[in-house]
Amino acid sequence: MADTLSPRPLRRRRLAILVAALAAVTALACWGAYRWAEAGARAALTLNGDQRLGLYASSIRNAVGRYDYLPFLVARDHEVLDLLDAPSTLGRDAVNRRLETANAAAGSAALYVVDRGGLALASSNWADPAQSFVGQRYDFRPYFRQAVETGSGRYFGIGVTTGLPGYFLSHAVRRGEALIGVAVVKIDLEPIQRDWAAGGERVLVTDENGIVFLSSHADWKYRALRQLPDAVTARLAQTRQYDRSDLTPLGLHDGPLMENGARLVGLPASGPTRRAYLMQELALPEFGWTIRFLSDLEPVKAEAAGAAVLTAMGILLLAAAAALGWQRRQTLRLQHEARVTLERRVEERTAELLTANRILREAQEELVQAGKLAALGQMSAALAHEINQPLAAIRTFVASTRLLAERGETAMVRDNLAMISDLAERMALLSGHLKEFARKGPARVEAVPVARAMDRALALLASRLREEEVQVDRSIPPDARVRGDAVRLEQVFVNLLRNAVDAMEGGEERRLTLTAGRNGEGWEIRIRDTGTGIAEAHQFQLFDPFFTTKEVGQGLGLGLSLSYGIVRDFGGTLRAENNPDGGACFVVQLPEAQ
């Protein structure tokens, strides 16, 4: 009972729980898909980053390695040794030219020779007064000190004279054991950076202090990756490594360390926002540098978000499909229920109809009965006439017979008595008709041999047939047996035969043809005459009660109506037709008796 009272809130609650569960599952799956796609994309990024780092390292090593030999070679040049031993204008000019030629051939930025005190004596760029190193002091430069102390040096810095950045390789020049000067080559690393920038990637190279000095992005250059300690700042000012650059920190924000040594970092983008990158590093120990490669994480996020959205869509699609399936099942169930209900209703209605039909039939029988009673009144007039006539005649005959009997005229008396008997018989026949008409309900059913019923009917009419000199042709097979009541079937035949004889009365040819033949499930009995035939106007009235074309006193119009009813009671039919060569034919169709 409670279930039928509260199905809506219950169903709604179940639906809410289902939706909540679906949302939870979707969220979880989306989160999982996001993390999974993110990890996958990041792994791909890391792999790519590793490869790029390797490539950049070798490009730097190549760029520098190409010139490794130059200071060494210059340090062994006789003219250079001579110049450093005993500086002279002539010697300097010769060395200048030699260095210029060598520098042009090697493709380095500058090639120069510094004396023991750090003064540049000759340089490849001697001819350009604005750029020339000749006469400049480089004793404060670390590469000079390194060469003096260890024999060779390497150093990245911004040129004090030119203001252009470069990588300096130095080598001590010795005469015997004695140091007499330092040979230096300056290498321009700008071209490599230009390649990087063209590639659209984010690369930066930092020195041991964490200062960016090479980068694919110009605005990152000469900036500290992180805040520099004061001591470092002071030392840099002294060596003028990055000349007058202020080394503002990049504002790198360190995130968590990921797998494979990669780190999530943030770099200021436009305004206060940071952009997330995956930062990978590769140390170049021989230079004391570190190459860093930054991969933009936005595409990774987008890819992960795409995966999450796809997952959500997939789940929702599945859910929709499931809902559709459920709804379809529900519809089928409802349809099934509706069909069952319909079938039950049809059964109920059929039963009701059957009952109604029975009631109707009963009512109809009542009506027929009532109709018969109504017809009774109509019949009375004809009946009065029909009975009064023979009665009057009988009375007259009786009176005259009495006279004749008194007179002793026996023969006349016998004749009169025969007449009276005839009249009485006619009245009896009439009353028989009426009795039959008043009968109610079907007669008993038996197997009736058609030939015998016909014989009896003919016997009943024998005198009439003889009187009218009617020729009778009979051809009824002995096995023709129909379902019916023998007496009543005889009555039908009598009616039909008498009508036929009536129709032939006074005709030229008076012949009755009686046949019976199989027709479908039963027998067709034909009673054919050579009489007047049936007028077209009467065709549809023949079987109506009290329809007659005969004179008053001759017919009641009940014969065919009664016969029709009897035949129908036996499950048969009665119909009338005209013969092509004149006369009528009445056809009785009756089911065969088993």
Residues at the contact surface with ligand ADP, assessed by CB under 6 A: 495, 499-500, 503, 529, 531-534, 542, 547-550, 555-561, 584
Radius of gyration from C-alpha coordinates of the chain: 69
Q: How far is the CB of 548 from ligand ADP (least distance, A)?
A: 3
d(CA 234, CA 243): 12
| 300/457 with CB nearer ligand ADP | 457
User: How buried is 526 (Cβ within 10 angstroms: 0-12 exposed, 13-18 middle, 19+ buried)?
Assistant: middle
d(CA 106, CA 492): 144
- Tokens 């008595």, located at residue: 417
Contacts (Cβ under 8 Å, ≥6 apart) of 150: none
d(CA 378, CA 390): 20
d(CA 394, CA 416): 9
What's 63's DSSP letter? Answer: H
- Tokens 């065919």, located at residue: 560
Q: How far is the CB of 527 from ligand ADP (least distance, A)?
A: 8
Q: How far is the CB of 506 from ligand ADP (least distance, A)?
A: 13
Q: How far is the CB of 460 from ligand ADP (least distance, A)?
A: 15
| 221/488 with CB nearer ligand ADP | 488
Q: How far is the CB of 588 from ligand ADP (least distance, A)?
A: 13
d(CA 514, CA 586): 10
Q: How far is the CB of 552 from ligand ADP (least distance, A)?
A: 11
d(CA 59, CA 66): 11
d(CA 489, CA 544): 19
Stated as kind and residue range, the H or E segment containing 9 is helix 7-65
Q: How far is the CB of 426 from ligand ADP (least distance, A)?
A: 13
- On whether the CB atoms of residues 419 and 458 are closer than 8 A, the answer is no
- On whether the CB atoms of residues 562 and 499 are closer than 8 A, the answer is no
Q: How far is the CB of 557 from ligand ADP (least distance, A)?
A: 4
Q: Across 285-350, where does the E strand assignment appear?
A: 289-296
Q: How far is the CB of 479 from ligand ADP (least distance, A)?
A: 27
Stated as kind and residue range, the H or E segment containing 393 is helix 298-407
